[in-house]
Amino acid sequence: MPRAWKFGENLNTDEIIPARYNITIEPKELARNVFCEIRPDYAQSVHPGDMVVGGPNFGCGSSREHAPIAIKGSGAACVIAPSFARIFFRNAINIGLPILECPEAAAEIADGDELAVSLGDGKITDLTSGKTYQAQPLPAFVLQIAEAGGIVNFLKTHTIEDLV
């Protein structure tokens, strides 16, 4: 069953993946060192479908996409946080890493809780506590990009004018 990996507030891009590992853009390679300084057990123990649960201002710092790519490469199904830093927010959408803004869920879900998430309607269920949460629905054009698997895939068959 997918489990939650809990992180604190203002988690910056250097804490997600230190700059010295950004010598590659290969997702699996980056994933080997994701969260290595603040949560060294993550890369070893994360299972595909697990979820990252963060605090406010998740992903602040640099514009580097290595951070969301490293998380996606680790097999995490999504990131749940009360709020995201703006460049991380756009980068995650653009590379196709689902992100959900939900302050209540992010605050109450405990590390290791079993989770079920329905990305389509933003419903988050904490199976350990039995509580359910409703994340802020993503704007339609963001869903369009996410459904295409990222903006690059979207543009293969569309023009940017199709977004708005």
The residues in 117-156 that bind other proteins, with binding defined as CB under 8 A, are: 139, 141, 150-152, 155-156
Shortest distance, position 152 Cβ to other proteins, whole Å: 5
C-beta of 3 vs 62, nearer to other proteins: 62
Shortest distance, position 28 Cβ to other proteins, whole Å: 15
C-beta of 5 vs 58, nearer to other proteins: 58
- Sequential DSSP letters for 143-160: HHHHHHTSHHHHHHHS-G
Tell me the Cα Rg of the chain.
15
Query: Which one among 4, 30, 31, 60 touches other proteins, defined by CB under 8 A?
Result: 60
Q: Determine the angle formed by the axes of helices 86-95 and 66-73, rounding to 10 degrees.
A: 50
Helices (H), 27-135: 27-31, 42-45, 66-73, 86-95, 103-108
Stretch that binds other proteins, among 45-53, 63-71, 73-81, 103-111 (CB under 8 A): 63-71
CA distance 101 to 92: 13
Residue 24: CB partners within 8 Å, gap ≥ 6? 30
The residues in 25-54 that bind other proteins, with binding defined as CB under 8 A, are: 25, 37
Extract the tokens encoding 51: 């979820």
Query: Which one among 10, 125, 128, 144 touches other proteins, defined by CB under 8 A?
Result: 10
C-beta of 6 vs 66, nearer to other proteins: 66
Q: How many binding residues for other proteins (CB under 8 A)?
A: 39
- Between vectors from CA 71 to CA 157 and to CA 163, what angle results, nearest 5°? 25
Positions that interact with other proteins (CB under 8 A): 10, 12, 14-15, 18-20, 22-23, 25, 37, 56-57, 60-65, 83, 85-87, 90-91, 94-95, 139, 141, 150-152, 155-156, 159-161, 163-164
